[in-house]
Amino acid sequence: MVKVIAIDGPSGAGKGTISRKLAKKLGFFYLDSGALYRLLGLVAVRHRVDLSDNTVLTPLAENMDIRFEALASGENKILLEGEDVTRELRSEQTAALASQVAAYPEVRKALLVRQRRFAKSPGLVADGRDMGTVVFPEAQLKLYLTASVEERARRRYKQLLEKGESVSLRALEAQVRARDERDINRDASPLIAASDAIEIDTTELSITEVLDTVLNIALHRGLM
Protein backbone atom coordinates (compact mmCIF):
# COMPACT_ATOMS: atom_id res chain seq x y z
CA MET A 1 0.00 0.00 0.00
CA VAL A 2 1.25 3.47 -0.93
CA LYS A 3 1.98 5.66 2.09
CA VAL A 4 -0.38 8.63 2.27
CA ILE A 5 -0.35 11.60 4.64
CA ALA A 6 -3.58 13.60 4.43
CA ILE A 7 -3.46 17.21 5.63
CA ASP A 8 -6.75 19.09 5.83
CA GLY A 9 -7.84 22.41 7.23
CA PRO A 10 -9.26 25.83 6.36
CA SER A 11 -7.62 28.37 4.08
CA GLY A 12 -4.60 30.06 5.62
CA ALA A 13 -3.91 27.45 8.31
CA GLY A 14 -0.55 26.66 6.72
CA LYS A 15 -1.36 23.27 5.25
CA GLY A 16 -0.02 24.11 1.79
CA THR A 17 3.37 25.30 3.03
CA ILE A 18 3.72 22.41 5.48
CA SER A 19 2.57 19.83 2.93
CA ARG A 20 5.11 20.98 0.33
CA LYS A 21 7.96 21.02 2.83
CA LEU A 22 6.95 17.65 4.26
CA ALA A 23 6.73 16.05 0.81
CA LYS A 24 10.17 17.38 -0.08
CA LYS A 25 11.64 16.15 3.21
CA LEU A 26 10.19 12.66 2.80
CA GLY A 27 10.73 12.43 -0.96
CA PHE A 28 6.98 11.94 -1.47
CA PHE A 29 4.72 13.21 -4.23
CA TYR A 30 2.57 16.23 -3.38
CA LEU A 31 -1.09 16.87 -4.18
CA ASP A 32 -2.48 20.39 -3.88
CA SER A 33 -6.14 19.44 -4.27
CA GLY A 34 -7.24 23.06 -4.01
CA ALA A 35 -5.33 23.78 -7.22
CA LEU A 36 -7.67 21.45 -9.11
CA TYR A 37 -10.72 23.43 -7.99
CA ARG A 38 -8.99 26.73 -8.76
CA LEU A 39 -8.11 25.43 -12.20
CA LEU A 40 -11.71 24.43 -12.80
CA GLY A 41 -12.96 27.85 -11.71
CA LEU A 42 -10.40 29.52 -13.96
CA VAL A 43 -11.12 27.40 -17.02
CA ALA A 44 -14.87 27.88 -16.50
CA VAL A 45 -14.49 31.65 -16.57
CA ARG A 46 -12.17 31.52 -19.57
CA HIS A 47 -14.67 29.40 -21.50
CA ARG A 48 -17.58 31.52 -20.26
CA VAL A 49 -19.25 28.67 -18.44
CA ASP A 50 -21.98 29.53 -15.94
CA LEU A 51 -20.60 28.67 -12.49
CA SER A 52 -24.08 27.70 -11.36
CA ASP A 53 -24.47 25.08 -14.11
CA ASN A 54 -22.97 21.87 -12.74
CA THR A 55 -24.11 19.93 -15.84
CA VAL A 56 -21.43 21.81 -17.78
CA LEU A 57 -18.89 22.09 -14.96
CA THR A 58 -18.76 18.32 -14.40
CA PRO A 59 -17.57 17.30 -17.90
CA LEU A 60 -15.24 20.30 -17.83
CA ALA A 61 -13.70 18.95 -14.62
CA GLU A 62 -13.27 15.51 -16.18
CA ASN A 63 -11.53 16.82 -19.30
CA MET A 64 -9.42 19.79 -18.15
CA ASP A 65 -6.09 20.01 -20.00
CA ILE A 66 -3.80 20.47 -16.99
CA ARG A 67 -0.25 19.50 -16.07
CA PHE A 68 1.82 19.79 -12.91
CA GLU A 69 5.60 20.16 -13.28
CA ALA A 70 7.75 19.72 -10.16
CA LEU A 71 10.41 22.39 -9.68
CA ALA A 72 13.70 22.03 -7.80
CA SER A 73 12.31 24.35 -5.10
CA GLY A 74 9.65 21.80 -4.25
CA GLU A 75 6.95 23.99 -5.77
CA ASN A 76 4.80 22.98 -8.73
CA LYS A 77 4.49 24.86 -12.00
CA ILE A 78 0.88 24.47 -13.07
CA LEU A 79 -0.08 24.54 -16.72
CA LEU A 80 -3.62 25.02 -18.01
CA GLU A 81 -4.05 24.29 -21.71
CA GLY A 82 -0.29 24.74 -22.05
CA GLU A 83 -0.17 28.12 -20.26
CA ASP A 84 1.61 28.67 -16.95
CA VAL A 85 -1.14 29.85 -14.59
CA THR A 86 0.70 29.21 -11.31
CA ARG A 87 0.63 32.85 -10.20
CA GLU A 88 -2.95 33.43 -11.32
CA LEU A 89 -4.15 30.46 -9.27
CA ARG A 90 -2.99 32.14 -6.05
CA SER A 91 -5.16 35.22 -6.45
CA GLU A 92 -8.10 35.87 -4.15
CA GLN A 93 -10.41 36.03 -7.18
CA THR A 94 -9.47 32.53 -8.33
CA ALA A 95 -9.78 31.19 -4.78
CA ALA A 96 -13.34 32.55 -4.66
CA LEU A 97 -14.14 30.76 -7.93
CA ALA A 98 -12.77 27.52 -6.51
CA SER A 99 -15.00 27.79 -3.46
CA GLN A 100 -18.05 28.12 -5.72
CA VAL A 101 -17.38 25.15 -8.01
CA ALA A 102 -16.29 22.94 -5.09
CA ALA A 103 -19.82 23.06 -3.66
CA TYR A 104 -21.22 20.69 -6.31
CA PRO A 105 -21.17 16.95 -5.47
CA GLU A 106 -20.92 16.05 -9.16
CA VAL A 107 -17.82 18.22 -9.58
CA ARG A 108 -16.16 16.75 -6.51
CA LYS A 109 -16.89 13.23 -7.76
CA ALA A 110 -15.41 14.08 -11.17
CA LEU A 111 -12.17 15.29 -9.57
CA LEU A 112 -11.98 12.41 -7.07
CA VAL A 113 -10.46 9.97 -9.56
CA ARG A 114 -7.88 12.54 -10.66
CA GLN A 115 -6.84 13.18 -7.08
CA ARG A 116 -6.41 9.49 -6.23
CA ARG A 117 -4.07 9.04 -9.20
CA PHE A 118 -1.48 11.14 -7.33
CA ALA A 119 -0.97 8.30 -4.81
CA LYS A 120 2.23 6.72 -6.11
CA SER A 121 5.24 5.07 -4.51
CA PRO A 122 7.17 6.04 -2.42
CA GLY A 123 4.29 8.07 -0.96
CA LEU A 124 2.01 11.08 -1.14
CA VAL A 125 1.32 14.15 0.96
CA ALA A 126 -2.21 15.33 0.08
CA ASP A 127 -3.31 18.83 1.03
CA GLY A 128 -6.95 19.90 0.99
CA ARG A 129 -10.23 20.05 2.84
CA ASP A 130 -11.49 16.47 2.50
CA MET A 131 -8.30 14.47 1.97
CA GLY A 132 -8.65 12.43 5.16
CA THR A 133 -12.43 12.15 5.13
CA VAL A 134 -13.25 11.42 1.47
CA VAL A 135 -10.32 11.21 -0.94
CA PHE A 136 -7.90 9.12 1.15
CA PRO A 137 -9.92 7.74 4.10
CA GLU A 138 -7.33 4.94 4.54
CA ALA A 139 -4.37 7.35 4.86
CA GLN A 140 -1.80 6.19 7.39
CA LEU A 141 -1.63 9.67 8.90
CA LYS A 142 -4.33 12.33 8.97
CA LEU A 143 -3.65 15.85 10.19
CA TYR A 144 -5.98 18.81 10.57
CA LEU A 145 -4.30 22.21 10.69
CA THR A 146 -6.25 25.18 11.95
CA ALA A 147 -5.68 28.77 13.12
CA SER A 148 -7.77 31.75 14.15
CA VAL A 149 -9.59 33.72 11.45
CA GLU A 150 -7.59 36.83 12.36
CA GLU A 151 -4.26 35.05 12.01
CA ARG A 152 -5.20 33.41 8.73
CA ALA A 153 -6.31 36.75 7.30
CA ARG A 154 -3.10 38.39 8.54
CA ARG A 155 -0.97 35.76 6.81
CA ARG A 156 -2.82 36.25 3.53
CA TYR A 157 -2.55 40.02 3.92
CA LYS A 158 1.22 39.74 4.27
CA GLN A 159 1.47 37.46 1.22
CA LEU A 160 -0.51 39.83 -0.97
CA LEU A 161 1.45 42.89 0.17
CA GLU A 162 4.69 41.10 -0.71
CA LYS A 163 3.27 40.58 -4.21
CA GLY A 164 2.61 44.30 -4.48
CA GLU A 165 -1.17 44.00 -4.26
CA SER A 166 -3.26 46.60 -2.45
CA VAL A 167 -5.61 44.84 -0.01
CA SER A 168 -7.70 45.50 3.07
CA LEU A 169 -7.08 43.36 6.13
CA ARG A 170 -10.69 43.81 7.25
CA ALA A 171 -11.95 42.70 3.82
CA LEU A 172 -9.68 39.64 3.94
CA GLU A 173 -11.06 38.68 7.34
CA ALA A 174 -14.57 38.87 5.92
CA GLN A 175 -13.53 36.71 2.95
CA VAL A 176 -11.95 34.11 5.24
CA ARG A 177 -15.11 33.91 7.35
CA ALA A 178 -17.30 33.63 4.24
CA ARG A 179 -15.12 30.87 2.78
CA ASP A 180 -15.17 28.97 6.06
CA GLU A 181 -18.96 29.26 6.10
CA ARG A 182 -19.24 27.82 2.58
CA ASP A 183 -16.74 25.04 3.18
CA ILE A 184 -18.13 23.93 6.54
CA ASN A 185 -21.81 24.03 5.58
CA ARG A 186 -21.78 22.68 2.03
CA ASP A 187 -23.59 19.37 1.50
CA ALA A 188 -20.76 17.78 -0.51
CA SER A 189 -17.66 16.85 1.53
CA PRO A 190 -17.92 19.63 4.13
CA LEU A 191 -14.75 20.84 5.80
CA ILE A 192 -14.40 18.70 8.92
CA ALA A 193 -11.56 16.94 10.69
CA ALA A 194 -11.50 13.17 10.21
CA SER A 195 -12.39 11.33 13.42
CA ASP A 196 -8.86 9.91 13.59
CA ALA A 197 -7.04 13.10 12.57
CA ILE A 198 -4.50 14.83 14.78
CA GLU A 199 -5.40 18.52 15.12
CA ILE A 200 -2.68 21.16 15.24
CA ASP A 201 -3.48 24.82 15.97
CA THR A 202 -0.84 26.85 14.11
CA THR A 203 -1.96 30.29 15.31
CA GLU A 204 1.02 30.82 17.60
CA LEU A 205 3.48 28.51 15.84
CA SER A 206 6.15 29.23 13.25
CA ILE A 207 6.43 27.18 10.06
CA THR A 208 9.50 25.46 11.48
CA GLU A 209 7.68 24.56 14.70
CA VAL A 210 4.72 23.10 12.82
CA LEU A 211 6.97 21.15 10.44
CA ASP A 212 9.02 19.72 13.33
CA THR A 213 5.81 18.64 15.06
CA VAL A 214 4.52 16.93 11.92
CA LEU A 215 7.86 15.23 11.25
CA ASN A 216 7.90 13.81 14.78
CA ILE A 217 4.39 12.43 14.31
CA ALA A 218 5.33 10.93 10.93
CA LEU A 219 8.42 9.33 12.50
CA HIS A 220 6.36 7.68 15.22
CA ARG A 221 3.91 6.39 12.59
CA GLY A 222 6.76 4.72 10.70
CA LEU A 223 6.40 6.99 7.68
CA MET A 224 10.05 8.09 7.62
Is 163 among the domain residues?
yes
Indicate whether 162 pLDDT > 90.
no
Residue 153 phi/psi, 5-degree rounding, is -70, -40
Residue 61 lies in a domain: yes
Which domain does 181 fall in, by range? 3-216
* Residue 137, in any domain of the structure: yes
Residue 222, in any domain of the structure: no
Cα dihedral sign for 67, 79, 153, 51? Answer: negative
pLDDT score at 126: 96
What's the predicted TM-score (pTM) here?
0.86
Indicate the number of domains in the chain.
1
67: domain CATH number is 3.40.50.300
Residue 73 has what pLDDT? Answer: 67
In a domain, 223, yes or no: no
Region of 204 please: left (phi>0), alpha (psi -120 to 50) or beta. Answer: alpha
224 is a domain residue: no
Tens of pLDDT, residues 110-144: 999 889 999 999 999 999 999 999 999 999 999 99
